[in-house]
C-alpha cells in the first residue's frame, strides 16, 4: 500500500496544465463536504515522510503530496494547512488523488488573469531558453518572452538573461490555451521615451553635453547623450580638413559636444565639436598679416595650385603663378607634394570667403628687380641664345632669366625679317640692356647697339662716285643686294647691271659673286646706297654718273626696297 502511494506521489510531481479544468469548473466545488473532482480544497498535513506528506482533506482517507511539489520542503511541518487540487476522489489505492502544484498553478493563473490582465507590468524570472525566446516565471505561471521583445536592440546571447528577474509587460493572455506573452522591450522603450522627453526639455542650444560615440558613418557620428541620440556631422567635427569621422572618433569613445539645434517634434539633436573652440578665421588677419611668413603642411594639390594648412581650419592657396619668379610652372605637383612642410608669404586675405593667397617665390627678392640694379639700361651682357621665335631671340642673362633681342634691334644696316638669318640656338652673343620691366618680367636687349651705327658716318665711308667691291647676298626681280664693308648693303638695280638690256638678274649675277660697282646714290634718310656696275667704268663721266643716280631714284619707288628685301629672303630660303 505504501509502495503504491509512493509511486502515485512520484507520478503526481508532473502537472499536466493542458488537462486542468476551466475556471468555471473550478468554481463548482468549493464546499468541503462536496468532494468534487477538479476542485481546489483545503487540507492539513498530518504526517511528513522523507518522500512527501500525508494531507487530511476531511475524507475517509488522507491524500499524498510528493516532496517535490513543495517549494520549501525543509520548512514543511505537521499541522500546516495547504490548498490542493482534487484530481480524483479515490484512486486505485483507495486514496484521494491530490496535487499541490496544480492547485498553486491554478491559483496563480487566476490571480494573474483576475488581478493583472493584459497591459499590466509584473515581475518575471527568466527560467530557461526555448525556441524563439525565453520562458519567464511570473509568480508561479510560465509566460513566453519572444526574443524580439527582450531588449530594444538585437540580443546576441539570450543566456545572459537566464536567472535574472526583470519587469515585463503582459501583451497577450490566451485563456483557452493557457499561455501568456510578455515583453520587456516595451517597458524599456516607454522608459526611453520618457527619459528622452525629459532630456530634450533639459537641453538648450549652445549647451555643453557629455556623451558616448554610438555609431560612425561616412557623413558623421551618432552620439548617445544618455537617452537621446544626436548627430555630429563631419562638417562640425573640426575647423580643419578631415576626410572621414573615424580620423577623429571611435565607437565607445566619451566625448563632449555642443548643442547646435533641437527639433522637438522629430526629437532630433544636431551637435558640434569644433564649436567648443573659437573659429580660427575670426583672428586670421591679426595672426597672419599680409607680408608675413607662415609655415604649414601641403594638404591638397590641384593643377592650379597647392593648399597649405597653416593651422586647424585655416588653409591658404599657393597658385602656380606664385611658385617661381623665373620658371613657368604648369602643375603645382612639379614643385610641392602632399604632406610636405613649406614656408610661404601671405599675399592676400579674404576673411569673409575664408581664403588666403600665399606665395613661395616671395620668400626671395624679385630677381628682375635685382637685375635692374645690377644691369642698368645701357649695360652690356653676355649670354647664350636659348630660344628663338619669328620676331626675336631669347638670350639667357643669369638665373634662368632671359632677355629678348627683337629683330629690329639686330642690325643697323640690314633689314632682318627672321632672327635665324644671323643667330641660332646655342650662340654666345653680346648684347646691350635696352629696358628692364620687373612688373611684366621683360628685358629688352639690343644686338646692334653693341656697335656704333655706321650710317652716322656714312658720308666719310661712301661718296657718290666711289668705286667699291662687295659680295652678292640677295637677288630680287629688280636688282641685287651687295654687302659692302661695315656690313652695309647697297642695291644694284637691274637697270644698272649692264649697258646691255637685262631681262633677269639671275641671268647675270649669282649669290656669292664678287662685283665691282660705283656709288651713284647715298640717301641718309632712307638709309639707301645705290650702286651701278655699268658705271664702274673709268670712262664714266660725271654727267653719266648724275644720270645713273636719277635713273636709280626713278626706278626705286618709296617702299620698294622693303618689298625687294622680302622677295630676296624668299629667294634665299627657296635656294636653301
> All 3 cell numbers of residue 231?
548627430
Tell me whether domains 2-107 and 117-188 share a fold.
yes
Strands (E), 484-566: 489-493, 514-523, 528-532
Fold of the 203-276 domain: OB fold (Dihydrolipoamide Acetyltransferase, E2P) (2.40.50)
No. of helices (H) and no. of strands (E), the chain: 9, 30
pLDDT at 341: 93
**71 Cβ contact list (under 8 Å, min separation 6):** none
CATH class of 117-188: mainly beta
> All 3 cell numbers of residue 497?
647691271
**What pairing do the DSSP bridges indicate for beta strands 141-146 and 121-130?**
unpaired
- Cell 647691271 -> residue: 497
Judge: domain 367-450, CATH 1.10.357.10: no
Asked whether 170 and 180 are in contact (CB, 8 A), the reply is yes
Q: Given a cut of 50, is residue 28 above it in pLDDT?
A: no
At 353, the pLDDT band (50, 70, 90 cuts) reads: confident
* CATH homologous superfamily, domain 280-363: Nucleic acid-binding proteins (2.40.50.140)
Mapped onto helix, strand or coil, the DSSP state of residue 422 is coil
Beta bridge partner(s), residue 54? 47, 64
Distance CA 562, CA 481 (A): 12
At 456, the pLDDT band (50, 70, 90 cuts) reads: confident
454-575 in CATH: which number? 2.40.50.140
> All 3 cell numbers of residue 80?
500546516
Distance CA 105, CA 87 (A): 14
Q: Given a cut of 60, is residue 422 above it in pLDDT?
A: yes
User: How does the average pLDDT of the chain come out, rounded?
Assistant: 82
pLDDT at 307: 94
Q: Given a cut of 90, is residue 58 above it in pLDDT?
A: no
Let me know how long the chain is: 576
Judge: domain 2-107, CATH 2.40.50.140: yes
Model confidence pLDDT, tens digit, residues 86-101:
888 888 888 898 888 8
- Cβ atoms < 10 Å from Cβ of 330: 10
Per cent of the chain over pLDDT 70 is 90
pLDDT at 4: 39
Model confidence pLDDT, tens digit, residues 194-215:
777 778 888 888 889 889 999 9
Of 23-27, 333-337, 490-494, which gets the smallest average pLDDT? 23-27
Distance CA 431, CA 448 (A): 8
Q: Given a cut of 70, is residue 17 above it in pLDDT?
A: no
Of 104-118, 320-334, 344-358, 362-376, which gets the smallest average pLDDT? 104-118
Domain spans of the chain, in order of start: 2-107, 117-188, 203-276, 280-363, 367-450, 454-575
Amino acid at each position: 500500500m505504501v509502495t503504491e502511494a509512493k509511486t502515485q506521489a512520484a507520478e503526481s510531481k508532473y502537472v499536466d496544465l493542458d488537462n486542468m479544468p476551466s475556471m468555471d469548473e473550478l468554481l463548482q466545488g468549493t464546499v468541503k463536504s462536496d468532494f468534487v473532482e477538479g476542485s481546489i480544497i483545503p487540507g492539513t498535513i498530518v504526517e511528513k515522510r522523507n518522500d512527501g506528506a500525508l494531507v487530511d482533506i476531511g475524507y475517509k482517507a488522507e491524500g499524498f503530496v510528493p516532496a517535490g511539489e513543495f517549494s520549501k520542503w525543509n520548512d514543511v511541518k505537521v499541522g500546516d494547512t495547504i490548498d490542493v487540487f482534487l484530481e480524483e476522489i479515490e484512486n486505485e489505492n483507495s486514496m484521494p488523488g491530490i496535487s499541490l502544484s496544480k492547485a498553486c498553478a491554478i491559483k496563480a493563473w487566476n490571480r494573474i488573469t483576475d488581478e493583472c490582465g493584459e497591459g499590466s507590468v509584473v515581475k518575471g524570472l527568466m527560467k530557461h531558453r526555448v525556441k524563439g525566446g525565453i520562458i519567464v516565471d511570473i509568480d508561479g505561471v510560465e509566460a513566453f518572452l519572444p526574443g524580439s521583445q527582450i531588449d530594444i536592440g538585437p540580443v546576441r546571447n539570450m543566456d545572459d538573461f537566464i536567472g535574472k528577474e526583470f519587469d515585463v509587460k503582459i501583451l497577450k493572455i490566451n485563456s483557452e490555451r493557457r499561455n501568456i506573452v510578455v515583453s520587456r522591450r516595451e517597458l524599456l522603450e516607454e522608459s526611453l521615451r520618457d527619459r528622452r522627453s525629459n532630456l530634450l526639455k533639459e537641453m538648450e542650444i549652445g549647451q555643453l553635453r557629455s556623451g558616448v560615440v554610438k555609431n560612425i558613418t561616412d557623413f558623421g557620428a551618432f552620439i548617445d547623450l544618455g537617452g537621446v541620440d544626436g548627430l555630429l556631422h563631419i562638417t562640425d567635427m573640426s575647423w580643419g580638413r578631415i576626410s572621414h569621422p573615424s580620423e577623429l572618433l571611435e565607437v565607445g569613445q566619451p566625448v563632449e559636444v555642443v548643442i547646435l539645434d533641437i527639433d522637438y517634434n522629430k526629437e532630433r539633436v544636431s551637435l558640434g565639436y569644433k564649436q567648443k573652440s573659437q573659429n580660427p578665421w575670426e583672428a586670421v588677419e591679426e595672426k597672419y598679416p599680409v607680408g608675413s611668413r607662415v609655415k604649414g603642411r601641403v594638404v591638397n594639390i590641384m593643377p592650379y595650385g597647392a593648399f597649405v594648412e597653416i593651422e586647424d581650419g585655416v588653409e591658404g592657396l599657393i597658385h602656380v603663378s606664385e611658385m617661381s619668379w623665373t620658371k613657368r610652372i604648369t602643375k603645382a605637383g612639379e614643385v610641392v607634394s602632399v604632406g610636405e612642410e613649406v614656408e610661404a608669404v601671405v599675399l592676400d586675405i579674404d576673411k569673409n570667403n575664408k581664403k588666403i593667397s600665399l606665395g613661395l617665390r616671395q620668400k626671395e627678392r624679385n630677381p628682375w628687380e635685382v637685375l635692374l640694379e645690377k644691369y642698368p639700361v645701357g649695360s652690356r651682357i653676355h649670354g647664350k641664345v636659348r630660344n628663338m621665335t619669328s620676331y626675336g631671340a631669347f638670350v639667357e642673362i643669369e638665373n634662368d632669366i632671359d632677355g629678348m633681342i627683337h629683330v629690329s634691334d639686330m642690325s643697323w644696316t640690314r633689314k632682318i625679317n627672321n632672327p635665324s638669318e644671323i643667330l641660332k640656338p646655342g650662340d654666345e652673343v653680346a648684347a646691350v640692356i635696352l629696358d628692364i620691366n620687373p612688373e611684366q618680367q621683360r628685358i629688352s636687349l639690343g644686338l646692334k647697339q653693341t656697335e656704333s651705327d655706321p650710317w652716322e658716318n656714312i658720308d666719310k665711308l661712301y661718296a657718290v662716285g666711289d668705286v667699291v667691291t662687295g659680295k652678292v647676298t640677295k637677288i630680287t626681280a629688280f636688282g641685287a643686294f651687295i654687302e659692302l664693308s661695315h656690313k652695309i648693303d647697297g642695291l644694284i638695280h637691274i637697270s644698272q647691271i649692264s649697258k646691255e638690256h637685262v631681262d633677269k638678274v639671275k641671268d647675270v649675277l649669282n649669290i656669292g659673286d664678287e662685283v665691282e660697282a660705283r656709288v651713284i646714290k647715298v640717301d641718309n634718310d632712307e638709309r639707301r646706297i645705290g650702286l651701278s656696275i655699268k658705271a664702274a667704268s673709268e670712262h664714266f663721266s660725271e654727267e653719266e654718273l648724275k644720270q645713273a643716280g636719277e635713273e636709280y631714284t626713278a626706278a626705286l619707288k618709296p617702299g620698294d626696297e622693303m618689298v625687294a628685301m622680302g622677295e630676296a629672303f624668299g629667294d634665299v630660303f627657296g635656294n636653301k
